[in-house]
Amino acid sequence: MILQASGAGLIEKVLPDGVASVEAFCDPPDAVLYPGEAELITRAVDKRRREFRTVRHCARQALRQLGLPPAPVLRGERGEPLWPAGVVGSMTHCAGYRAAAVAHSCDVRALGIDAEPHEPLPAGVLEIITVEQERGSLSELAAADSATCWDRILFCAKETLYKAWFPLTRRWLGFEDAAVTINPGTIDPAQGTFSTQLLVDAPTNTGQTLTHLDGRWLRSDELVITTIVLGYGSR
């Protein structure tokens, strides 16, 4: 199976109804670039070209699930994807995996997704990407379940937060600017939720200040996937 659309995919397990997602576990040969996209990767190496092309192919399939025509997905000044009017979305790629998720902006205010290999973080990274309260909770999680790479889930959750946060605020968010609490799964130990507490104040595009964003995580043997979907009723 090359492309996995909503119905049987990994990422859709941690996305609500109303969010369309498509994922790929390799690079389909029929994926093509749309106008303006090739110019964004003229200097890129082959690996980058492949992930860039495939994830946009996924994005167009996901747009189709929303009933929308295919469109180029260009990049804003801080790397954020530029979606067609009326759409919010997010994309991710890592070794052996690419995914895109989109929703109508009347249903969803902000969306972030991230995927990472299900492996411990490289030495030295944890100290850079965590605040003290997170390091304490990671030790407790590891004591209860040593088969899950909790440090990777935390990292993935923080990158997901940035992807949801940036289009709302147009501001940088450092790893020291948020604290994530991971909640282990109660029924399925390979899926759970997380909450993020923002440690900086920043008005969003509606003038409201965000204090928390909640998300979901999933892990397989190979992958960690995290998602944040901010609806209009959310805090």
Ligand X SMILES: CC(C)(COP(=O)(O)OP(=O)(O)OC[C@H]1O[C@@H](n2cnc3c(N)ncnc32)[C@H](O)[C@@H]1OP(=O)(O)O)[C@@H](O)C(=O)NCCC(=O)NCCS
Which of 107, 159, 214, 222 is in the footprint of ligand X by CB under 6 A? 159
Token output for 186: 């109660």
Which of 53, 60, 93, 109 is in the footprint of ligand X by CB under 6 A? 93
Q: Which window, 17-25, 26-34, 75-83, 210-218, contacts ligand X (CB under 6 A)?
A: 75-83
What is the C-alpha to C-alpha distance for residues 200 and 171, in angstroms, rounded to an integer?
11
Whether 191 and 185 have beta carbons less than 8 Å apart is answered as yes
What is the C-alpha to C-alpha distance for residues 27 and 33, in angstroms, rounded to an integer?
13
Smallest gap from residue 181 Cβ to ligand X (A): 13
Which of 83, 97, 162, 194 is in the footprint of ligand X by CB under 6 A? 162
Greatest Cα pair distance in the chain:
51
Sheet holding 178-183, edge to edge: 110-117, 223-230, 212-219, 191-198, 178-183
| 122 in contact with ligand X (CB under 6 A) | no
Q: Which window, 118-126, 140-148, 166-174, 227-235, contacts ligand X (CB under 6 A)?
A: 166-174
Choose between 55 and 62: whose C-beta lies nearer to ligand X: 55
Choose between 158 and 184: whose C-beta lies nearer to ligand X: 158
| 178 in contact with ligand X (CB under 6 A) | yes
Which of 92, 148, 169, 226 is in the footprint of ligand X by CB under 6 A? 92
Using alpha carbons, list the distances in angstroms from residue 87 to 17, 18, 83.
15, 12, 6
Whether 63 and 87 have beta carbons less than 8 Å apart is answered as yes
Which of 19, 58, 88, 91 is in the footprint of ligand X by CB under 6 A? 91
Token output for 138: 């990671």
Closest residue to ligand X, based on beta-carbon distance: 79
| 53 in contact with ligand X (CB under 6 A) | no
Angle (nearest 5°) at CA 139 between 185 and 187: 10
Phi–psi pair at 118, nearest 5 degrees: -80, 75
How many residues sit close enough to ligand X to count as binding (CB under 6 A)?
22
Site residues (CB under 6 A) for ligand X? 52, 55, 75, 78-81, 91-93, 114, 158-159, 161-163, 166-167, 173, 175, 177-178
